Copies of this chain bind each other. A is one copy, B any other.
C-alpha cells in the first residue's frame, strides 16, 4: 500500500510538472511496467473530483485543469478572448461534426460561400487544419479539427462532441443528395465574397 501511495504521489507530481498532458504510456515509462496506471489515475481523479483543480482525460492524455465551475471567479481579471463571428462558429461546428469535410460541403450546409477570413480565424486559433484531399474531381482539401481543438474544449475525443450521438441517430450528419442534389439554389455569397478557387467549386447550379 505504501508503494501504491508513492506511485500516486509520483503520478501527481509528474502531471503537475508536465507542461502538456501525459499519456498513460508516458506515465508507464516513468513509473515502470508493474504500476497499474489506469487504476492509479482513477484513484487520483477521484481524489481531485471535488477540489478546485481536477484531473481530466483529454485527447493528448491526462492533465490537471481548474474546475469548470470556478470559471467566473477565475476569469474576473483576465482579458476576455475575442469572440468568434457567427459564421466562424457555424463553420467550426460543421467541420467538427462532419469532418472530414470540403469547403464546398461547408458552403452547401451553411447555404453561403465562405468569406475569406472565416477559415483563417479558425486556422489561426489552431482549431482546424486541412488534411489530405478528397478523391473527387478537383481534389478539394479535406478539413478536420486539430488535437488542439479537443484540448481547448476539454474533449477526450470527437465522440464527446455535444449531442453528436443524437445527430447521428437522426441522420443530421448525413449530407446525401439533399444537400448536393442540384435541386436547390447554390450557396449564396457571404458578405465578403471569395475569389473563386479553381479546385473548390460550389455545387452545381440549380436547374429549375
**Which residues of chain B have C-beta atoms less than 8 A from A9's C-beta?**
51-52, 67, 70
Count of chain A residues near B, Cβ 8 A: 21
User: C-beta contact mask, A136-164 vs B, less than 8 Å → 1, else 0?
Assistant: 00000000000000000000000000000
Find residues 50-78 in chain A having any chain B CB closer than 8 Å to their own CB: 51-53, 64, 66-67, 70, 73-74, 76
Q: Are B53 and A14 in contact (CB under 8 A)?
A: no
Report the separation of the CA atoms of residues A66 and B73 in the bound assembly, to the nearest whole angstrom: 25
Q: How far is the CB of A180 from chain B (nearest CB, A)?
A: 46
Q: Which of B17, B30, B64, B73 contacts A16 (CB 8 A)?
A: B64
**Which residues of chain B have C-beta atoms less than 8 A from A70's C-beta?**
9-10, 13
Report the separation of the CA atoms of residues A170 and B10 in the bound assembly, to the nearest whole angstrom: 41
A11 interface residue per 8 A CB criterion? yes
User: C-beta contact mask, A9-26 vs B, less than 8 Å → 1, else 0?
Assistant: 111111011000000000
Q: How far is the CB of A80 from chain B (nearest CB, A)?
A: 16
**Which residues of chain B have C-beta atoms less than 8 A from A53's C-beta?**
12-13, 16
Which residue from chain B places its CB closest to the CB of A30 in the assembled complex?
A: B76
Q: Which of B8, B64, B73 contacts A30 (CB 8 A)?
A: B73
Q: Which of B14, B51, B73, B76 contacts A74 (CB 8 A)?
A: B14
Q: How far is the CB of A44 from chain B (nearest CB, A)?
A: 9
Report the separation of the CA atoms of residues A53 and B8 in the bound assembly, to the nearest whole angstrom: 11
Known: A8-B52, A10-B52. A66 touches B30 (CB 8 A): no
Report the separation of the CA atoms of residues A98 and B51 in the bound assembly, to the nearest whole angstrom: 44
**Which residues of chain B have C-beta atoms less than 8 A from A10's C-beta?**
52, 70, 73-74
Known: A30-B76, A73-B30, A76-B30. A51 touches B12 (CB 8 A): yes
- Seed contacts A13-B66, A14-B74; 11 additional CB < 8 Å A-B pairs: A8-B52, A9-B51, A9-B70, A10-B74, A11-B52, A12-B53, A13-B67, A14-B52, A16-B53, A16-B64, A17-B66
